[in-house]
Amino acid sequence: MKNNHRQLLMEKRNELTGAIPAREEIAIERLPDMMDDVQSSHQRELALVSINRHWKLVRDIDEALHRMDQGTYGICEACEEPIHPKRLSAVPWAILCRDCQEAKDAEEANSGEYEAA
């Protein structure tokens, strides 16, 4: 099963590193029209969020591969219980079991720190 997950992780990593987000979208360019400038600024912010999310996923995948090498893959980092195989099949880079992930999401939502993924 872990070899299957390793293959999924490697395929996803190759897909992500082969499709690097366009960095020119974040180039700062002053426009003469204030509304165009505001819209351009908003588009830059969205592009930065997208790029950050993209590379965070690459890091999450690298960390999952490292956990495989260390023998800790599939163990929840919060409660140290096994992560259900169905969850790992759906999200092979998961570090938390479903219950701990739900608790973390609820805590972040209540604190206002939650960023939709």
Mean pLDDT (whole number) for 66-89: 96
The predicted structure's pLDDT at residue 18 = 80
The predicted structure's pLDDT at residue 41 = 73
Which range, 19-23, 29-33, 36-40, is most confident? 36-40
CA distance 77 to 1: 20
CA distance 48 to 57: 14
pLDDT digits (tens, 9 = 90+) for 46-68: 888 888 888 899 999 999 999 99
CA angle 31, 44, 91 (to 5 degrees): 165
- CATH no., domain 2-111: 1.20.120.910
The structural domains of the chain, with segments of one domain joined by +, span 2-111
DSSP notation for 7-76: HHHHHHHHHHHHS---GGGG-----SSHHHHHHHHHHHHHHHHHHHHHHHHHHHHHHHHHHHHHT-TTB-
Kindly tell me if the per-residue pLDDT of 77 is higher than 90: yes
